[in-house]
Each structure stands twice: as structure tokens, then as C-alpha cells.
């Protein structure tokens, strides 16, 4: 099922990257927290994950994040995450660019990670801008306060209506611009900048390998498309690579 042609590309590849989205987290049992999945009490994600909602009611927003952290905290990396972490050790240059905020790539052992949308296990001081790790489940106080200055802490994630960090975007573009092979895993490939990254790889002559449970707008442009779960297809490619 894995074409020999892809294995040959991978054997020659020096720079490999993986762009991941909600699909790979879903295989670990993490809901998307959008639409019906995101309903908490009577609120939708789109009503809570905004700077306006936080300004109006930080306790409510933090209670929601506390609930999400409880769910995410129980999830474990799947074979997709584990295979990706393994590949960091076999390719000369290997990077993960993720839209996911759950931290599962790091938990699986990946180190070279660009988290485009932030990380739910990090908090940021609203006054000083300092980012700190916070893994307390449940949180010790809601809303949590900065230990340095006492100001309100916020989740270090990108909310609706907010811009992604320019450093992260530049890093992701640089990786995409130099990848010999880019895997696009479990992302619907419609949201900027993630949607544009595979095209940077293609433009420089690299190949794009898409893995998704259904076709996306990227599929017609992908050099290889695998329909199915990342947790099954990535290990299959890996075993062919070692075979």
C-alpha cells in the first residue's frame, strides 16, 4: 500500500517536516472543541476563546480551560505521534509544525516543534508577557495569577481574532521552504498559514504527502495521498522505510 517511489524519496531526503492538525489528536481521543464537541455548559468555543470573552469574564474562560485541560491531560500520544518522534532521530533535519495545542508531540518525544496556536499547558502574564509552564489539573486558583507581579495569567494559546506569533510563522515558512518532503497529517488545510505551507515545499521542488481520513482541498496537489488514520499509516510507512 506504501508506494516504493515514496520510500525512495524518503531514503534520499535530508530535510523532512510534518504539519499536523486536529485529526492526529482526535485519534488520541481529544475532541476538536469546535461545534458540538466544543459545547461546555451553554457556550460554544467561538464564544469563549476570544480576547473579548476573557476581558469580560476571565473566571468563566479559565473554568472552560480547566475543563479542557482535564480532558487533554488524560490523553496519550498515539502511534502517529510516536512515529513522528522517532523520525526526528533518523532524518538529518526534522521538524514538526502543529496547529494542536495539546502538547502530545512533546509528550511523544519530539523536540523540534513549532506550535502555531500555542500550548494549553503554558500560561502568559497579561502584564509582563512572560510565558510559563503550568500543568496543574485542576488549577490551584481560578483565575490563576502571575507569581512575579500578581497580574492575571491567560492561556498561552491563539484565540479567535488574534494573530499568530510572527516568529512562529517565519519559522514554519523557513522549514516549509527547505523541506525535501512534507507530511500533512490530520489537518483540513483551510486555515492560514497552515494551508499555504505545503505549497512552499512544492514550490522549492519538494514533495507533499497527505494523510487524512477524508480528502481535503490540498488532496489534488499532494504527491501522495493516504486515506486513513495517522496512527496506522505512519507506522506502515516507517516499517517499509526500515524494511
The residues carrying an active-site annotation are 117
Q: At what angle do helices 230-242 and 79-90 cross, to 10 degrees?
A: 30
Contact between 19 and 185 under an 8 Å Cβ cutoff? The reply is: yes
Rounded least distance, CB 129 to Zn ion, Å: 8
Subset of residues 103 to 132 that bind Zn ion, contact rule: CB under 5 A: 125, 127-128
Nearer to Zn ion (CB atom), residue 154 or residue 229: 154
149 binds Zn ion, rule: CB under 5 A: yes
Among 112, 148, 217, 239, binds Zn ion (CB under 5 A): 148
Nearer to Zn ion (CB atom), residue 16 or residue 153: 153
3-state SS string over the chain? CCCHHHHHHHHHCCEEEEEECHHHHHCCCCCCCCHHHHCECCECHHHHCCHHHHHHCHHHHHHHHHHHHHHHHCCCCCHHHHHHHHHHHHCCEEEEEECCCCCHHHHHCCCCEEECCEEEEEEEECCCCCEEECCCCCCCCCCCECCCCCCEEEEEECCCCCCCCHHHHHHHHHHHHHCCEEEEECCCCCCCCCCCHHHHHHHCCCEEEEEECCCCCCHHHCCEEEECCHHHHHHHHHHHHHC
From 93, 106, 99, 94, select the one nearest 24 (Cα to Cα).
99
151 binds Zn ion, rule: CB under 5 A: yes
| Binding footprint of Zn ion, residue count (CB under 5 A) | 7
Rounded least distance, CB 123 to Zn ion, Å: 10
Binding segment toward Zn ion, per CB under 5 A, in 16-24, 84-92, 151-159, 161-169: 151-159
Rounded least distance, CB 152 to Zn ion, Å: 9
Binding segment toward Zn ion, per CB under 5 A, in 31-39, 55-63, 79-87, 145-153: 145-153
Nearer to Zn ion (CB atom), residue 52 or residue 148: 148
Rounded least distance, CB 151 to Zn ion, Å: 5
Nearer to Zn ion (CB atom), residue 37 or residue 141: 141
Nearer to Zn ion (CB atom), residue 86 or residue 154: 154
153 binds Zn ion, rule: CB under 5 A: no
Rounded least distance, CB 134 to Zn ion, Å: 13
Subset of residues 52 to 91 that bind Zn ion, contact rule: CB under 5 A: none
Q: Which residues bind Zn ion (CB under 5 A)?
A: 125, 127-128, 146, 148-149, 151
Amino acid at each position: 500500500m506504501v508506494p516504493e517511489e515514496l520510500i525512495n524519496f524518503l531514503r534520499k531526503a535530508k530535510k523532512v517536516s510534518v504539519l499536523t492538525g486536529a485529526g492526529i489528536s482526535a485519534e488520541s481521543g481529544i475532541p476538536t472543541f469546535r461545534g458540538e464537541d466544543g459545547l461546555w455548559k451553554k457556550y460554544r468555543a467561538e464564544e469563549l476563546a476570544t480576547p473579548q470573552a476573557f476581558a469580560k469574564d476571565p473566571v468563566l474562560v479559565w473554568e472552560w480551560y480547566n475543563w479542557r485541560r482535564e480532558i487533554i491531560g488524560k490523553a496519550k500520544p498515539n502511534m502517529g505521534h510516536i512515529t513522528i518522534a522517532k523520525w526526528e532521530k533518523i532524518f538529518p533535519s526534522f521538524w514538526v509544525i502543529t496547529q494542536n495545542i495539546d502538547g502530545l508531540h512533546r509528550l511523544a518525544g519530539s523536540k523540534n516543534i513549532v506550535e502555531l496556536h500555542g500550548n494549553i499547558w503554558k500560561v502568559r502574564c497579561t502584564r509582563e508577557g512572560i510565558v510559563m509552564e503550568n500543568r496543574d489539573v485542576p488549577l490551584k486558583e481560578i483565575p490563576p495569577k502571575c507569581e512575579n507581579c500578581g497580574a492575571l495569567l491567560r492561556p498561552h494559546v491563539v484565540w479567535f481574532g488574534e494573530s499568530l506569533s510572527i516568529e512562529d510563522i517565519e519559522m514554519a515558512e523557513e522549514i516549509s521552504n527547505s523541506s525535501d518532503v512534507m507530511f500533512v497529517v490530520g489537518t483540513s488545510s483551510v486555515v492560514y498559514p497552515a494551508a499555504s505551507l505545503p505549497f512552499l515545499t512544492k514550490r522549492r521542488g519538494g514533495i507533499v504527502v497527505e494523510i487524512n481520513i477524508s480528502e481535503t482541498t490540498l488532496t489534488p496537489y499532494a504527491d501522495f495521498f493516504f486515506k486513513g488514520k495517522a496512527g496506522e499509516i505512519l507506522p506502515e510507512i516507517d516499517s517499509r522505510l526500515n524494511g
